[in-house]
Amino acid sequence: MTPYLSKTAFWDVDFDSLDPELNAVFIIEKVFNYGLSSDNKATMSYYGEERIKTEIVKGAYFKKKVFRFLCVIFDLEPEAFICYIRRQSQPLHWNY
C-alpha cells in the first residue's frame, strides 16, 4: 500500500511514475520541503520514524527551517546530513 499524498509537493515531476520504495529519499525530501501537513503525517505513517531518520540524511536539499525542524524532531546533528556538508563546502561569493 502506497501513502496517499497530495500532488502539491510534486508539481514538477510525474507523480504516478514514482515508486515509494525506490524513490523514498526523493519523496520524503519533497514532502518535508513542500508538502501539506497531511502529507507529512501520511509519510510518517507509511515509512515510520526509523526509516525516515535513515533516509532524510541522504536528502540533497532541505529548506533551512525544515532542516532545523528535522534535526530537532529526529535528534540528529547537522553534520549527519549530506546537504549540510555540501552547503558548508561551498563558500559564499560575498560575505554580507
Q: How far apart are the C-alpha atoms of 43 and 52, rounded to whole Å? A: 9
What whole-number distance in Å separates Cα of residue 74 and Cα of residue 53? 6
CA-wise closest residue to 29 among 50, 64, 49, 55: 55
Span 38-58, mean pLDDT?
A: 95
Give the domain extent around 33. 15-88
Q: Residue 48: pLDDT above 70?
A: yes
Domain-embedded: residue 6: no
Query: Could you report the per-residue pLDDT of 53-63, keeping only the tens digit for each?
Result: 999 999 999 99
Give the C-alpha separation, 68 to 11, whole Å. 24
Within a domain: 79: yes
Q: Which pLDDT does position 85 carry in this prediction? A: 77
- Name the DSSP class of 20: T
DSSP line for 35-46:
--HHHHHHHHHH
Q: How many CB atoms lie within 10 A of CB 5?
A: 22
96 or 3, which is more confident: 3
Q: Is residue 2 part of a domain?
A: no
* Overall number of domains in the chain: 1
